[in-house]
Amino acid sequence: MLNMRRREFITLLGSAVVWPLTARAQQPTPVVGFLSSRSPNESAHLVAAFRQGLEESGYFDGQNVHISFRWAEGGYSRLPELAAELVHARVAVIASVGGPISALAAKQATATIPIVAVSSDPVKHGLVASFNRPGGNVTVVSPGSTVLGAKRLGLLHDLVPGAALIGHLVNPNSPDRDVQLRDAEEAARTLGWQIHVVYAGTERDIDAGFAGLVRQKAGALLVSSDPFFDTRRDQIVALAAHHAIPTMYAQRPYVAAGGLMSYAPSFAEAYRQAGIYAARILKGAKPADLPVFQRSKFELVINMKTAKALGIEVPNSMQLLADEVIE
């Protein structure tokens, strides 16, 4: 009788230990939705930075978290549908990246699922109520202003001071179109440059735009910051090289691909911070309590090989000023 009770006690004790372990094992792996207006190939380094932020916080894709990707690949009209897919899948948090147009699509799709957006000017675009108290279900990592026409044109002027006409490549579908146009036009007037605006919302528009720049005898080109242009990066860099147009870009990868020069915020660091914020939300934090994270680091990158091919001599002072010089 005593042995029987002892066996029952051991069985009960074993059940008490196994049950919570089994319950924990059966808990579903949280899913992070990743909504981007860009494309996967050209965003690989940014995805790696986002994963790094998650991993620094204890979340590893494929182990204790799963990332579900949705890519618009420059087709902004697809973003609402892609955001709706993530909402339907009941993801735990949405990381909306690739500018305000992606963030707005996510915000319009849900008022309950937490959203971490990588975007500039979050108050102006209506993503948050304020920087310190975002309110609602959205918080933002701001890489810094993407409206840097004055600085970019100033650097370009240092390299090609003899140019009279400057091209400005702009996506007419960008929510930042007007402010980027105004910023560049004001900077061009200060430098005594004429500016020729090229609107491009398709691959064909980009080809036609460069043909127009050649006819106009543009001495240099400024490419606006825009996710659609990022998805067509190789096309733009190749056309600038083919037509020998000195070009200032809005992100480092253009220069790594053979472009002349870029001056831009550190987007990789912004994506890493977005991963950290997403992890904090998975651990229970609310977007309304996570203040907008602001970065103010900007990077000047110069491709010396491209400068040589264009017959441009880069001053030593500018080389020393650069954060990176690609030989």
pLDDT in tens, 46-88: 999 999 999 999 999 999 999 999 999 999 999 999 999 999 9
The predicted pLDDT at position 18 comes to 45
Q: Classify each residue of 226-236 as buried b or exposed e, where b means 16 or more C-beta atoms within 10 Å of its C-beta.
A: bbbbbbbbeeb
Token pair listed for 231: 């998805």
Q: What values do phi and psi take at 293, rounded to 5? A: -90, 120
Those residues with Cβ within 8 angstroms of residue 286's Cβ, 6 or more apart along the chain or in another chain: 114
Q: How high is the pLDDT of residue 227?
A: 92
By DSSP bridging, strand 261-265 and strand 298-303 are antiparallel
pLDDT in tens, 225-237: 999 999 999 999 9
Quote the tokens at residue 138: 């959205």
Q: What's the sign of the alpha-carbon dihedral 169, 174, 178, 184?
A: negative
Burial of 210 (0-12, 13-18, 19+ CB in 10 A): buried
- State pLDDT tens for residues 241-300: 999 999 999 999 999 999 999 999 888 999 999 999 999 999 999 999 999 998 777 899
CATH of domain 31-143+266-296: 3.40.50.2300
Q: What is the CATH number of domain 149-264+299-326?
A: 3.40.50.2300
Structural contact between residues 238 and 284, judged by C-beta atoms closer than 8 angstroms: no
267 exposure class (CB count in 10 Å sphere: 0-12, 13-18, 19+):
buried
- Summarize pLDDT for 92-141 with one digit per residue, the tens: 999 999 989 999 999 999 999 999 999 988 998 899 999 899 989 999 99
Does pLDDT of 14 surpass 60?
no
Q: Output the pLDDT for position 298.
A: 87
Percent of the chain beyond pLDDT 70?
A: 91
Residue 41, pLDDT above cutoff 60: yes
Q: How do the domains of the chain map onto residue ranges?
A: 31-143+266-296, 149-264+299-326
Cβ(32)–Cβ(70) under 8 Å? no
DSSP 154-168: HHHHHH-TT--EEEE
- Pick the closest to residue 209 from 181, 182, 245 (CA basis): 245
pLDDT score recorded for residue 294 = 86
Q: For residue 169, give the H/E element and its range.
A: strand 165-170
Average pLDDT of the segment spanning 188-198? 92
Average pLDDT score over the chain? 90
220 forms bridges with which residues in the sheet?
A: 166
What single letter denotes the amino acid at residue 50?
A: F
Percent residues over pLDDT 90 in the chain: 76
- Edge to edge, what strands does the sheet with 324-326 contain? 194-199, 165-170, 220-223, 247-249, 261-265, 298-303, 324-326
pTM: 0.85
Query: CATH topology of 31-143+266-296 equal to that of 149-264+299-326?
Result: yes
Instruction: Specify the pLDDT at position 11.
Output: 46
Helix (H, G, I), strand (E, B) or coil at 93: strand
pLDDT, residue 198, reads 96
Say which range, 107-111, 198-202, 210-214, 295-299, has the weakest mean pLDDT.
295-299
pLDDT of residue 146: 62
